[in-house]
Amino acid sequence: MAEDQYPQLHLDNQLCFSVYTLSRLITQAYQPMLQALGLTYPQYLVMLVLWQALEKGRPATQGALPVTVKFLCEQLQLDTGTVTPLLKRMESNGLLVRRRSAKDERVVEVDLTDSGKTLREQAKHIPADILCQTGVDVEQGKALRDELKGLIRQLAAPGS
Amino acid sequence: MAEDQYPQLHLDNQLCFSVYTLSRLITQAYQPMLQALGLTYPQYLVMLVLWQALEKGRPATQGALPVTVKFLCEQLQLDTGTVTPLLKRMESNGLLVRRRSAKDERVVEVDLTDSGKTLREQAKHIPADILCQTGVDVEQGKALRDELKGLIRQLAAPGS
DNA sequence: GGTAATTATATTGTGTGCAATCTAATTGAT
DNA sequence: ATCAATTAGATTGCACACAATATAATTACC
């Protein structure tokens, strides 16, 4: 029987397997740092969105725009089946609060607690530490990130 | 309050988030094709290892080398807490059988059933279909895969 | 203004992923 | 030979991830 009848099925040849493995290894690399803050990696991603929203207060208004569950799902490209329980765990850990919007009772708004806001200072060193561990320099990292974003755009396209 | 005090914490700037998102989108892209074969993506990866082992029979011996749970964990870089239940589900789906090695009772060997072997023919078109969906050409895909493998090597290094 | 369609979120069930722990079999040092 | 260390798997518990479904609120249309 001939060897290598199906080279396209070999693990080492597969781009997809490399992405899958790298993704898991990255999560594992974050784990010790995030554990010190009481966060998991997906929870950290939620915090990134919420922290970023703190900076987006419109001038001459009372403060930040409300972040909704829908907005979080869009930003993270996760569905409510993942995000709702994630937010519940984070709420019970005292990082944020959830409440129904007064204007539209369907909408749930998410707000950082003071404790959640404070955590940002302790998190700001993390991206540099990770970059250091992976050994990529800043420019190479940007180029790679943009290449991956291109693939994401392809796969997320409605007509895929 | 100044805007963008923490640009390094912005989601759009993060290579890690792109890897994480791409990995999930890839799994979703495989899902309809794999569902037709009764497989999930991680189960498909197990099948890739087992199919590849079919080709590795040493000449002048009776057949393929036995694939053990340990070998699968190493190839997939997953631990037994993931792989053991995965194999149990696949066994109950009739794709493979598991049995303790006679030589070393600690070792569990995994073998494809005829049904599991047959499935390879139906799977061989999948890699090309996925490549097509992502819109990467073969050479670009190889380069990207090798770049990701470099990062994997960094992160998987013992002294990380 | 009443009803159908849409929207935002929640829930359920299944399948990973992984840390931590456990058990049984084998190996190694004395 | 004996007992400690190692090794291979399994188990438990928790946290995603997502398909499918459900529910309640709002909007659109006539």
| CB neighbour list of residue B58: distance below 8 Å, 6 or more residues apart | B65
Q: Which ranges of B36-158 does DSSP label H, i.e. alpha helix?
A: 41-54, 69-76, 80-92, 114-123, 126-134, 138-156
Residue in chain A closest to B19 (alpha carbons) equals A23
- Please say if the pLDDT value at position A59 is more than 70: no
Q: Which two tokens stand for residue A99?
A: 């409440």
Residue in chain B closest to A29 (alpha carbons) equals B155
Counted residue by residue, chain B has a size of 160
Tens of pLDDT, residue by residue over B56-82, are 654 444 445 799 999 999 999 999 999
Q: Span A72-84, mean pLDDT?
A: 97
B74 touches strand C (CB under 7 A): no
Whose CA is closest to A81, among A97, A98, A69? A69
* pLDDT above 70 as % of chain B: 91
pLDDT band of B2, cuts 50, 70, 90 = low
B11 vs A45: CB contact, 8 Å cut-off? Answer: yes
In the predicted model, what is the mean pLDDT of chain B? Answer: 91
Q: Are A112 and A103 in contact (CB under 8 A)?
A: no
Residue with CA nearest to C8's C1' atom:
A106
Tens of pLDDT, residue by residue over A9-37, are 999 999 999 999 999 999 999 999 999 99
C-alpha angle A31-A128-B79 in degrees, rounded to nearest 5: 25
Q: Which two tokens stand for residue A87?
A: 């937010």
A67-68: strand order across its sheet: A67-68, A108-112, A96-100
- Cα gap B16→A82, rounded to integer Å: 19
- Please say if the pLDDT value at position B49 is more than 60: yes
Which has more confidence, B6 or B27? B27
- Cα gap B83→B85, rounded to integer Å: 6
Burial class (CB in 10 A: 0-12, 13-18, 19+), A60: exposed
Distance set, CA A76 to CA A18, A41, A95, B12, B105 (Å)? 21, 12, 18, 10, 46
- Please say if the pLDDT value at position A64 is more than 60: no
B55 vs A1: CB contact, 8 Å cut-off? Answer: yes
- Please say if the pLDDT value at position A58 is more than 50: no
